[in-house]
Amino acid sequence: MQLHFLGTTGYHPNRRRDTACLMIPEHGIILDAGTGIFRARDLIRTSSLDIFLTHVHLDHCIGLTFLFDILFERDVNSVRVHADPAKHRAIEEHLFAADLFPKRPDFELLPLGVQPVPLAGGGQLQAFPVQHPGGCLGMRLEWPDHRMAYVTDTTASADADYLNQIVGLDLLVHEAYFPDGWEDRAALTGHSCLSPVARIAAASGARQTWLVHLNPLLEHDSEIDLSPARQICPGLRIAEDGMVAEF
């Protein structure tokens, strides 16, 4: 199974990366709808799309306004957007307010909570809460032979409540917005420093861990010193838009 990284930065795009978006084309699954979602158009293989939103901060949902172009001349019969029901009003009344965006694309807005959601191919998605201002959901996606989790916009720690949700994975995708030494800023904004993410990854036992939601002010990977984090979890990798992970 392939996971495509379509957007790997946070807050705002830069010259190298767009904001949060991942895709599993085989099953028509998109995780978050940041600016990187425009790349999904060339990867569509299914007649339906399921878009799962971790939360509705703009860098994770603004790509819903791109759906007209993403679906243009693509044989897609239905689009389902799954989000925390407490955030539906923000999508309907604010993101698609007439003064901001005059025409809403055709999609069904469905609730996403603690109940598992069936996925194509005999899998399921289990959402779980993570700490972030305004709320956020982590996601575990599991098929008989493939297991991954996506955790973004939270402050990682060795005793994080979500650790038991991400054990036994083939692939972990976790945010790492700040370098070590920025712990106060990470706690204030609800984001993570590198070494706590490495500890989470090591504790989870994930076979591979990819870092996303990187600080957009850092335009080159050479500015990110992974050496201390890799002493904790040697397999850490930095994701970049256009990369593909096999799991």
| Residue found under tokens 């996606």 | 141
Report the helix count and the strand count for the chain, using DSSP H and E.
6, 14
Of 150, 136, 161, residue with least CA distance to 55: 136
- Token readout for 47 is 């007649």
Of 118, 147, 146, residue with least CA distance to 52: 118
Count the neighbouring beta carbons within 10 Å of the beta carbon of residue 117: 19
Give the pLDDT confidence score for residue 128 in this predicted structure: 98
| Residue found under tokens 């591979």 | 208
Give the angle 234-213-226 at the CA atoms, nearest 5°.
25
Which of the four pLDDT bands, split at 50, 70 and 90, describes residue 102? very high
Which of the four pLDDT bands, split at 50, 70 and 90, describes residue 158? confident
Mean pLDDT of the chain: 97
- Token readout for 162 is 């979500």
| Residue found under tokens 């819903």 | 64
The number of angstroms, rounded, from the C-alpha of 206 to the middle of its chain's C-alpha atoms is 17
Q: What is the pLDDT of residues 82-98, one digit of tens each?
A: 999 999 999 999 999 99
Count the neighbouring beta carbons within 10 Å of the beta carbon of residue 191: 23
Give the pLDDT confidence score for residue 56 in this predicted structure: 98
Q: What is the pLDDT of residues 168-222, one digit of tens each?
A: 999 999 999 999 999 999 999 999 999 999 999 999 999 999 999 999 999 888 8
Is 234 a residue whose pLDDT tops 90? yes
Give the pLDDT confidence score for residue 54 in this predicted structure: 98
- Mean pLDDT lowest for which of 4-8, 45-49, 130-134, 157-161? 157-161
- 3 state DSSP class of 238: strand
Give the pLDDT confidence score for residue 211 in this predicted structure: 98
Could you tell me the pTM of the whole model?
Answer: 0.98
Measure the CA–CA gap between 19 and 11, rounded to whole angstroms. 7
Which of the four pLDDT bands, split at 50, 70 and 90, describes residue 53? very high
Strands (E), the chain: 2-7, 21-24, 29-31, 48-52, 78-83, 108-111, 117-119, 123-130, 136-143, 146-151, 171-175, 208-212, 236-238, 244-246
Is 126 a residue whose pLDDT tops 90? yes
